[in-house]
């Protein structure tokens, strides 16, 4: 590829926009965990069982609307889709702060999931339009870094907002930035390199040539049905389901786990302690994605890290709730190990499947992750409530990660991929 195409300007221009957009999506998704730890249950008379269901309802909406969002983004426009989604999810997030009953809260959580469903697959499609195979793991990681980095600062900011104002005001204040950012997004973003003025014609054509050349080495797949039936896509769906059980059981219930385990901890202290695993995750994600692009090996930077996370959860259970700091340290390790493989993982799919179906396949895999997130966040909340301690949920999350390790190991490399009969060679 022409060296000028590899211009740093693509990274400097696109990545901050991608990062901020996903950060705002994640902010309005994860702050519910702080409201749960700060008294929303008492104020609205929510039982522990209903609380875990409310936390999980988001993922049910997220599950159902992944693929329609991806198809629109792939065939129409990422730019238009994300613009509308930003306004709607900011509004839903702020409305959470004014609800007075459980049915309204349940409806808002579900709608928030529906609106945010399109964000992840649309952004992955957007990145695949702009970055080549040798860059994609790092580019995906900059997107997904919006997740731990947001929880990192959101943990601290939400703790202070709740202490200063209350959980209602936290929701209202934290929903506003997404609405404002929608208009920045509309001005700054174009769907394809050919549409921008900040790349030269030579840079545009060289980038396009490189992206087209990469497509020529991938087996042709006629339609989504054919792609969805391929062995690797099915395995990756199952793998991401199991992995997401661990991640979202952890994300949604960490503040509550910390508050119940540490004596006399206020919301500000809980906020600071909750942020540490995400700082470790941010560093681990950057290192893993850089090494994955350098070695062009994706699986090697997925399963060993998930294995470490599984052992950390089991270790946290083994040391027991009475050893708060030892258990907490292991949770930090688990958090970092679970987040680190995201960039390499989402680089696997566009390297296995052609452009016409890769976005839909990523959406299917991500929707199965949402189903795992729904199940994980609900069941971890249920276990914590029914047993009175997080011990059982540590075992549950650890076992889920062991399953995801095994499923990663049996995914075959892209060049050996088995597609259903009838698939044609490019």
DSSP-derived secondary structure for 335-353:
HHHHHTTHHHHHHHHHHHS
pLDDT of 415: 46
Q: What is the 3-state secondary structure (H, E, C) of 215-232?
A: HHCCCCCCCHHHHHCCHH
pLDDT of 261: 62
- Residues 205-239: tens digit of each pLDDT: 888 888 888 777 777 777 777 888 888 899 999 99
Please state whether 318 falls in left (phi above 0), alpha (psi between -120 and 50) or beta.
alpha
Highest mean pLDDT (candidates 125-134, 234-243, 255-264, 416-425):
234-243
Q: What is the maximum span of the chain, computed from C-alpha positions, in angstroms? A: 64
pLDDT of 230: 85
Which is more confident, 132 or 36? 132
- Which residues have C-beta within 8 Å of that of residue 238, sequence separation ≥ 6? 368, 407
DSSP secondary-structure letter at 49?
A: H
Residue 136 has pLDDT above 90, yes or no: no
Check: CB of residue 154 under 8 Å from CB of residue 274: no
Please report the domains of the chain, with CATH numbers, ordered by start residue.
7-193 (1.20.1250.20), 223-412 (1.20.1250.20)
- Residues 37-86: tens digit of each pLDDT: 777 778 888 877 787 777 678 778 888 888 888 888 888 889 999 999 99
- Over residues 298-309, the mean pLDDT reads 92
- Over residues 337-365, the mean pLDDT reads 85
pLDDT of 377: 77
pLDDT of 188: 93
Check: CB of residue 401 under 8 Å from CB of residue 273: no
Check: CB of residue 350 under 8 Å from CB of residue 363: no
Mean pLDDT (the chain, rounded)? 83
Model confidence at 2, pLDDT cuts 50, 70, 90, reads very low
Please state whether 192 falls in left (phi above 0), alpha (psi between -120 and 50) or beta.
beta
306: closest CA among 272, 344, 278?
Answer: 344
pLDDT of 356: 76
Which is more confident, 15 or 325? 15
Model confidence at 274, pLDDT cuts 50, 70, 90, reads confident
Which is more confident, 102 or 152? 102
Which is more confident, 195 or 2? 195
pLDDT of 50: 81
pLDDT of 417: 40
Residue 363 has pLDDT above 50, yes or no: yes
Model confidence at 400, pLDDT cuts 50, 70, 90, reads very high
pLDDT of 418: 41
Check: CB of residue 385 under 8 Å from CB of residue 230: no
Q: Is the pTM of this model over 0.75?
A: yes
Residue 24 has pLDDT above 90, yes or no: no
- Over residues 118-140, the mean pLDDT reads 86
- Residues 232-267: tens digit of each pLDDT: 899 999 999 999 988 877 776 677 677 766 567 677
Which is more confident, 338 or 393? 338
- Over residues 358-375, the mean pLDDT reads 86
């Amino acid at each position: 590829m022409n060296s000028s195409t590899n211009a740093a300007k693509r990274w400097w221009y696109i990545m901050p926009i991608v990062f901020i957009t996903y950060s705002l999506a994640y902010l309005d998704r994860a702050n519910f965990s702080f409201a749960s730890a700060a008294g929303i249950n008492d104020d609205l008379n929510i039982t522990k069982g209903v609380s875990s269901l409310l936390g999980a309802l988001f993922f049910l909406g997220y599950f159902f609307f992944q693929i329609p969002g991806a198809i629109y983004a792939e065939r129409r426009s990422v730019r238009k889709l994300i613009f509308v989604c930003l306004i709607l999810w900011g509004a839903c997030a702020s409305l959470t702060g004014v609800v007075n009953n459980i049915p309204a809260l349940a409806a808002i959580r579900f709608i928030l999931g529906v609106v945010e469903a399109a964000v992840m697959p649309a952004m992955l499609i957007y990145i695949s339009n702009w970055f080549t195979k040798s860059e994609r793991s790092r580019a995906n990681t900059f997107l997904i870094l919006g997740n731990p980095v947001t929880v990192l600062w959101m943990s601290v900011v939400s703790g202070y907002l709740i202490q200063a104002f209350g959980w209602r005001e936290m929701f209202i204040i934290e929903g506003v930035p997404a609405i404002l950012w929608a208009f920045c997004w509309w001005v700054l973003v174009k769907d394809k390199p050919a549409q921008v003025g900040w790349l030269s014609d030579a840079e545009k054509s060289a980038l396009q040539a490189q992206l087209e050349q990469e497509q020529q080495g991938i087996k042709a797949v006629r339609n989504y049905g054919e792609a969805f039936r391929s062995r690797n896509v099915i395995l990756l769906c199952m793998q991401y389901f199991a992995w997401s059980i661990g991640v979202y059981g952890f994300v949604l219930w960490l503040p509550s786990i910390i508050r119940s385990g540490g004596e006399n901890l206020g919301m500000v202290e809980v906020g600071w302690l909750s942020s540490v695993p995400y700082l470790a995750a941010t560093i681990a994600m950057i290192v893993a994605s850089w090494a994955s692009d350098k070695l062009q090996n994706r699986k090697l930077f997925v399963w060993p890290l998930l294995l470490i996370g599984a052992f950390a959860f089991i270790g946290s259970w083994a040391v027991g709730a009475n050893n708060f700091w030892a258990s907490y340290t292991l949770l930090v390790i688990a958090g970092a190990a679970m987040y680190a493989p995201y960039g390499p993982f989402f680089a696997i799919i566009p390297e296995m499947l052609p452009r016409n179906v890769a976005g839909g396949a990523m959406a299917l895999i991500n929707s199965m992750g949402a189903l795992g997130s729904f199940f994980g966040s609900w069941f971890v909340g249920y276990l914590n409530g029914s047993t009175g301690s997080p011990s059982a949920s540590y075992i549950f999350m650890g076992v889920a990660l062991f399953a995801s390790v095994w499923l990663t190991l049996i995914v075959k490399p892209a060049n050996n991929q088995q597609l259903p009969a009838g698939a044609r060679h490019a």
